[in-house]
C-alpha cells in the first residue's frame, strides 16, 4: 500500500518532474482538512510557495 502524505504538515517539500503540474495540497495528500487546491508555478524558478499554508516546494533534478 502506498503511504499518503499528510497535507500541510511539513513546511518544505522536495518534488520531481513527475509531480508536475504542482498543486497544494498534492494529489497524494488527504485534502479533507486542508485548504482549497491551488496550482503553483515552479518550473521557472525551481521553487514555489503556497499562499494558503506557506509550504515551500523545491523542484529537484530527477
Is residue 32 pLDDT above 90, yes or no?
no
- The model's pTM: 0.78
Decide which of 52 and 4 is more confident: 52
Domain extents in the chain? 12-59
How many whole angstroms separate alpha carbon 25 and alpha carbon 32? 10
∠ Cα 32 33 35 (to 5°) = 95
Is residue 46 pLDDT above 60, yes or no?
yes
Query: What are the counts of helices (DSSP H) followed by strands (DSSP E) for the chain?
Result: 0, 5
| pLDDT, averaged across the chain | 86
* Total Cβ atoms within 10 A of residue 54: 10
The helix, strand and coil proportions of the chain, stated in percent and rounded to the nearest 5, come to 5, 25, 70
Amino acid at each position: 500500500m502506498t503511504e499518503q502524505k499528510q497535507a500541510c504538515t511539513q513546511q518544505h517539500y522536495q518534488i520531481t518532474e513527475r509531480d508536475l503540474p504542482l498543486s497544494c495540497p498534492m494529489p497524494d495528500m488527504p485534502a479533507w482538512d486542508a485548504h482549497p487546491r491551488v496550482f503553483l508555478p515552479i518550473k521557472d524558478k525551481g521553487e514555489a510557495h503556497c499562499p494558503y499554508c506557506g509550504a515551500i516546494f523545491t523542484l529537484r533534478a530527477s
